[in-house]
Structure 1
């Protein structure tokens, strides 16, 4: 009989791995998921939904997408590690707006290289999911290793979440120095990373509870020997 903790643990790891995968391959792949939106309009919007009519640039782990509201729709850069926002110049007629000035580019080009850690966190979570699946199928060694890798994946997810907060604050500060206080908007990728970390934090606890309950409960064979069913 399959224990409830293995079912919940496998579902939790699968959900966390899927979320980390979406974050690691957000824009330019998953175009609705991004870390930070730079409003290229008047910079007065405080949320992404509030500036639907303003041109913007969305930053992701491996690239960016921009919609200049000029009828061309969403245009995205090539995916690579450590991109530079000056690449947006090929989508813009004329000079880059102040929000994409040299000082913002200097910070962004260095910080975007570290965003590759999201792919590392996704890889660890993927290994954790594979071990959780083997544990679900009854492999004894995988049952032990799955909890360890869940802990590693949770630690990695938490570390990249802290970096995401720092990444957002640094870019926001540089954009504000250009005179647009509301131009940097936090993206949904940060919330997805936080949810993934919470799921990976809970999963080892579920496995541990299941093991403790399994140790305390008598086995069916012992009940049968004692004359009880």
Structure 2
């Protein structure tokens, strides 16, 4: 019989892996997930689609998507590690607004290369999920490996979460210096990374509690079989 801790551990690491995957392949792939939205019309950026009436650009791990509110919808850059926002000029008739000035581009082109750490965190989470599946199926030593890789994935998720806060806060401040105080707003990818870290932090504890309890709780099925033999 599969123990409850293995079921909860598998569900927890699966959810964390899905969240990290959504973040690692956010815009231009998963267009509803992004780290920073910049209003290009010198207005107020909003995470709610109904409230975002001005043209905007969303920044992700491997690129960006922009909506000029001209009926063409979202237009996205080619995915690549380390991107430059000057590429948005082809969607903006060759001219960049002040919100995408040279100072903003200098920061973005330098720091977006480090966003590849999201892909590394996702890869480690996939390994932890694979070991969690093996632990669920009762493979020897899989519990320890799952806990170990969950710890690595959790540490990686926490590291990229801290970096994301620092990096996108810096871009946000540069944009606000060029535009207005409400020209940029943090997106949902930041919170998804935080939730993934919390799940990966809890998962090793579930496996540990299950192993400890398994050592202390007697096997009721074997006791029942012994009593049947005596009778």
d(CA) in 2 for partners of 1:114, 1:50: 32
Structure 2 counterpart of 1:107:
107
Q: Distance in 2 between matches of 1:107 and 1:48?
A: 26
Provide the TM-score with structure 1 as the length reference.
0.95
TM-aligned CA deviation for residue 93 of structure 1:
1.6
Which residue of 2 is the match for residue 119 of structure 1? Answer: 119
Cα shift readout 1:81-130 (whole Å, capped 9, x = no counterpart): 00000000000124200000000000001111111100000000000000
Partner of 2:93: 93
Counterpart-to-counterpart distance in 2, 1:172 and 1:137: 46
* Matching of residue 61 in structure 1 with residue 61 in structure 2: yes
RMSD: 1.7
Structure 2: distance between partners of 1:180 and 1:19: 32
Aligned length: 229
**Alpha-carbon distance in 2 for matches of 1:42, 1:215:** 63
Q: Which runs of 5+ in 1 are unaligned?
A: none
The residue number in structure 2 matching 1:160 is 160
Q: Residues 43-54 of structure 1: matches in 2 within 5 Å?
A: 43-45=43-45, 47-49=47-49, 51-54=51-54
The answer on whether the counterparts of 2:5 and 2:206 sit within 8 Å (CA) in structure 1 is yes
Using the TM superposition, give the Cα deviation of residue 39 of structure 1 relative to its aligned residue in structure 2, in angstroms. Answer: 0.7
Using structure 2 for the length normalisation, give the TM-score.
Answer: 0.94
Within 5 Å, which residues of 2 pair with 1:1-229?
Answer: 1-45=1-45, 47-49=47-49, 51-220=51-220, 223-224=223-224, 227=227
Distance 1:150 1:228 in 2: 42
